[in-house]
Amino acid sequence: MKLIPIYTWNRSVLEFNRKKDRLSHQPWFQGVLLLLCVIIAMLLANLPATRHYYHAFLETSIQIHMQSPEGSVDWLFPHGMTIEKLINDILMVVFFFTVGLEIKREVAHGELSSVKKALLPVVAAFGGVIMPALLYTLVNRGTIGASGWGIPTATDIAFAVCILSVLGDRVPVSLKVFLTALAIADDLIAILVVAIFYGGHVNLVLLGISVVVIFIAWLIKYLGHKHIAVYLALAVVVWILFYYSGIHATMSGVVMAFIIPSEARYERSYVLHKIKFFSQKLLSFDQIDDETMFPNGPQRHFLRRIHKTAYGSLNMSYRVEHALSPWVNFLIMPIFALANAGVEIPDLAYFNIFNTSGVAGGVGLGIFLGLVLGKPLGITLFSYAAIKSRLCEMPEKAGWAMFFAVACLGGIGFTMSIFVDTLSFQDAAAVEEMRNAGKIAILMGSLAAGILGTILIKLVSGTGRKSLS
């Protein structure tokens, strides 16, 4: 067998890594990855060979077992912690933490940083929450499924951006920015909905202790401390207190995200002076005669100092968000999809969301209508009222037909909708049946919203191009 030379192997590995990095940075890649995870989860939950193992794995208990002379104790993990709860109550804390950092960044420097920039997306986001909730409530009024009104109120930015990136220049840049800002404002509203309406019975003592710990974290930030380890340790304490206090533990991630310092360790003048100084030192040790010696010993030292100085010029909030984002986008979110999108379907009638006489009642219909109709109507009508009253301005180079088409993509719920679904119907007798019906409706509604938005955008953009020609 002919052996591949080692340099050829190294070049192949480097080329593969470059292609992998380019692929992972494509805006559509995360959406495609999540879609694949949904398909895999549905197969695992329904194929006879894997169905039992899939559910048994998610229901596996997790405990840290310690042996002592007097006996054994289970330590650290709360009683009843399973793989599924680990994903939804611990890994999702990291997701909400990064969402909080993103919202904080957009409020400080991005599309929500001023009243003029933020007003239209925020108004539209409220419309995109209120209208689906009303439609769901109309369908499920007076039934055991009424508490699920929060399920169709969220927008999944990953899938929406995926579709927008595929459509390319058919959508004006201003509307792409608008939808992104709307999804961020939507996330903030969804976080408040979960915190206020989908928590458990609140333990005021533990909640009070958590407030004290949060105040300590804020005080440390106020005093100028900029080492991440202290904040992470306090974040773990806040998570534990939230978990036992009755407020959903994921909210601890959002709270701590807003406390992470946004100031850089080094000031601008210091950074520029140090990089100039170390660059001059670097050049002074340049080996002109032998290029293979670069970097030599002294040069490696100054390159490390330049790197450290540059790293210190980035604020902690940005560094943490940048470090966590790949893990959240390409590990935590796919794991969440694999664990929560696997709905066992006994027969095809399960997809008949228009049947409101079953155990789940009108849960499926309410969610589907909320995503496909409520979202675009709420976003468009609230925006129309705000623009016509001159509170806001229409996005540049956008007409109302294209605006409504893009608003249809706001009906892609998925991640946050499934998360709210897992918290809903706590007191219902047929809780699992209702949650499964909700997940099916979320998948069908998100798919329908994506297809509808794509078709309308192509039709509107095609009409506009013909009129221009």
What's phi and psi for 67, nearest 5 deg?
-100, 135
Total Cβ atoms within 10 A of residue 214 = 20
Whole-number Å distance between alpha carbons of 392 and 29? 33
Per-residue confidence (pLDDT) for residue 139, from 0 to 100: 92
**Which two three-digit tokens encode residue 117?**
């920039």
- Torsion sign, CA atoms 275, 279, 282, 284: negative
**421 versus 227: which is more confidently predicted?**
421
Any bridge partners for residue 67, and if so which? 72
What are 422-454's pLDDT values in tens digits? 888 876 667 888 888 889 999 999 999 999 999
Identify the band that residue 33 occupies on the pLDDT scale cut at 50, 70 and 90: confident
For residue 218, pLDDT over 90 is answered with yes
Mean pLDDT across the chain, nearest whole number? Answer: 82
In angstroms, what is the C-alpha Rg of the chain? 25
Whole-number Å distance between alpha carbons of 358 and 373? 23
Per-residue confidence (pLDDT) for residue 123, from 0 to 100: 94
Per-residue confidence (pLDDT) for residue 400, from 0 to 100: 93
Highest-scoring range by mean pLDDT, 133-142, 163-172, 348-357: 133-142
In this structure, which amino acid lies at residue 302?
F
Nearest to 136 by CA among 414, 462, 379, 445: 445
Any bridge partners for residue 74, and if so which? 65
For residue 3, pLDDT over 80 is answered with no
Per-residue confidence (pLDDT) for residue 167, from 0 to 100: 80
For residue 111, pLDDT over 80 is answered with no
For residue 401, pLDDT over 90 is answered with yes
For residue 290, pLDDT over 60 is answered with no
What are 204-214's pLDDT values in tens digits? 898 899 999 99
For residue 27, pLDDT over 90 is answered with no
Per-residue confidence (pLDDT) for residue 68, from 0 to 100: 62
CATH superfamily of the domain spanning 28-60+80-199+248-263+316-468: Na+/H+ antiporter like domain (1.20.1530.10)
102 touches 184 (CB < 8 A): yes
162 touches 28 (CB < 8 A): yes
Percentage of the chain modeled with pLDDT above 70: 85
What are 319-356's pLDDT values in tens digits? 888 889 889 888 998 999 898 888 888 777 777 777 77
Q: Please list, in sequence order, all residues whose beta carbon lies within 8 angstroms of the beta carbon of residue 56, skipping any fewer than 6 positions away.
A: none
Per-residue confidence (pLDDT) for residue 65, from 0 to 100: 66
Identify the band that residue 105 occupies on the pLDDT scale cut at 50, 70 and 90: confident
Per-residue confidence (pLDDT) for residue 66, from 0 to 100: 64
Per-residue confidence (pLDDT) for residue 410, from 0 to 100: 92
CA end-to-end distance (rounded Å), the chain: 62
Identify the band that residue 183 occupies on the pLDDT scale cut at 50, 70 and 90: confident
For residue 1, pLDDT over 60 is answered with no
Q: What is the DSSP string of 205-255?
A: HHHHHHHHHHHHHHHHHHTT---HHHHHHHHHHHHHHHHHHTS-TTHHHHH
Identify the band that residue 100 occupies on the pLDDT scale cut at 50, 70 and 90: confident
Per-residue confidence (pLDDT) for residue 372, from 0 to 100: 96
- Mean pLDDT value across residues 381-401: 90
**273 versus 375: which is more confidently predicted?**
375
- Mean pLDDT value across residues 162-188: 83
Identify the band that residue 72 occupies on the pLDDT scale cut at 50, 70 and 90: low
In this structure, which amino acid lies at residue 187?
D
Q: Which of 63-67, 99-103, 273-277 has the lowest mean pLDDT?
A: 63-67
In this structure, which amino acid lies at residue 192?
L
Whole-number Å distance between alpha carbons of 63 and 70? 19
Identify the band that residue 233 occupies on the pLDDT scale cut at 50, 70 and 90: very high
- Mean pLDDT value across residues 38-55: 90
Per-residue confidence (pLDDT) for residue 366, from 0 to 100: 94
Q: What is the largest CA-CA distance in the chain?
A: 86
Per-residue confidence (pLDDT) for residue 448, from 0 to 100: 93
- Mean pLDDT value across residues 310-319: 79
Q: Which of 256-270, 276-290, 332-346, 432-446 has the lowest mean pLDDT?
A: 276-290
Nearest to 41 by CA among 441, 333, 342, 418: 342
Helices and strands (H and E) in the chain: how many = 20, 2
DSSP 260: S
Identify the band that residue 6 occupies on the pLDDT scale cut at 50, 70 and 90: very low
Whole-number Å distance between alpha carbons of 229 and 231? 6
Domain with CATH 1.20.1530.10 in the chain: 28-60+80-199+248-263+316-468
Per-residue confidence (pLDDT) for residue 442, from 0 to 100: 92
For residue 69, pLDDT over 80 is answered with no
Helix (H) / strand (E) element for 72: namely strand 71-75
Identify the band that residue 18 occupies on the pLDDT scale cut at 50, 70 and 90: low
Per-residue confidence (pLDDT) for residue 210, from 0 to 100: 92
Helix (H) / strand (E) element for 257: namely helix 251-257
Q: What's the pTM?
A: 0.76
Per-residue confidence (pLDDT) for residue 361, from 0 to 100: 77
- Torsion sign, CA atoms 74, 79, 80, 82: negative
What are 359-370's pLDDT values in tens digits? 677 899 999 999
What is the 3-class SS of 99-128, one letter each residue? HHHHHHHHHHHCCCCCHHHHHHHHHHHHHH
